[in-house]
Amino acid sequence: MALAATAAAAELKPETLRAYEGYVAWTDDRVKTDLSNGSPFLWLAGLADDRRQSVDRQLRKGDLVTQDLKPSDLEVPEGMVHHWVSTAFIPGATLTETLAVLLDFENYGKIHRPYFQRSRLLERKGNDCRVQLRVYRRKFFASMVADADLEVHTTILEGGRAVVRMRAARIQEIDDAGESGERPSEPGSYRGFIWRYDSYYRIEQSKDGTYLQAEAISLSKDIFFPMGTFLRGVHKDSLEDIVRNTKDELVARKKGR
C-alpha cells in the first residue's frame, strides 16, 4: 500500500508482528468460543435490548452500523491495530445468495471498484479459496496501492448461518501503480500503511433477509496525530465499502432477475 509520497519509510519489526499475531490468535479463539458455546452470533445480538432494537431499526432502514472493537489497553510496539465491525441488513436475500456475492472473487474488480482494481481466483477447492487482489484506496490527498494474496475458508453452520475467514497471506506495496514503471516497493521504502490484514464475516438468514457482518483487523505503522486519525478512517472506510458494495451488488442482481 502506498500513501503520501513524503511519508517516511517504515520497517515491520518482529516485536510489532508478534503483538499483532497474538491479538489475531486471541480473536480466532474468541470467534471459535462464540460459535461453540451459544454466544450471540452477531455483534448486535449481544447488545442490551434498547440498543439492539435501535441498531436493528437503523439496519432495516438501509444504514450500515460500524463499531470500533479495538481494546483501549491494546499495546503494539511501533504499530497500530485497526479493529472494526460493520453490519448491513439485506432485505429479501438468502444465505446462499449473500455467500455467492461475497465469494464472487472473479468479479471483485467490478463489484468493489475502485477499492479492488482487479482480482484473480487462483484456486477453489471445496470451502477454501486462494485469491490475488490489487487493492487501491484514495481519500483526500492520499492514495494507497498494494497487491495481496488472500486465503479464504468458509464454514456453513446450522440455522441459516455461515462464517467466512479471510487472511492476507502476502501484502506487497506497489510503486508507480498503473504506470509503465510500476514495480514492487523495495523493503527499505515501505511506507507501512498496511502490513497485515485478517477478517471474519458472519452471515445470518432471517425470515425477511440476511444480516451481513464484517469484522476486520489490520496492522499499520504507528503514526503521529492527525495522520493516525486519518489512517484509522481509511481502514474503517475500506471495511464499510466492502459491506456496502456486497449489499448493493446483491440487491442489483435480485432486481435483474
Q: How far is CA 229 from CA 192, 236, 238, in A?
A: 15, 11, 14
* Unique residue bearing C-alpha cell 490489487: 134
pLDDT at 89: 98
Superfamily of domain 14-255: START domain (3.30.530.20)
CA distance 222 to 228: 7
pLDDT at position 62 over 60: yes
Q: What are phi and psi of 167, to 5 degrees?
A: -140, 130
Residues 6+ apart with CB under 8 A from 74: 23, 81
pLDDT at 139: 57
Q: What is the overall mean pLDDT for the chain?
A: 88
Q: Do 76 and 20 meet the contact criterion of CB atoms below 8 Å apart?
A: yes
Q: Which has the higher per-residue pLDDT, 176 or 81?
A: 81
Give the mean model confidence (pLDDT) for residues 56-83: 95
Q: How far is CA 96 from CA 33, 124, 129, 255, in A?
A: 25, 17, 17, 16
CA distance 182 to 18: 31
Torsion on CA atoms 246, 252, 253, 257, rounded to nearest 10: 160
Give the mean model confidence (pLDDT) for residues 166-174: 89
pLDDT at 193: 76
pLDDT at position 225 over 90: no
CA distance 159 to 111: 28
CA distance 119 to 109: 5
Residues 6+ apart with CB under 8 A from 207: none
Q: Do 173 and 205 meet the contact criterion of CB atoms below 8 Å apart?
A: no
Residue range 179-211, pLDDT digits in tens: 777 776 665 445 667 889 999 999 999 999 999
Residue range 6-31, pLDDT digits in tens: 345 567 889 999 999 999 999 999 99
- State the amino acid at position 136 in one-letter form: Y
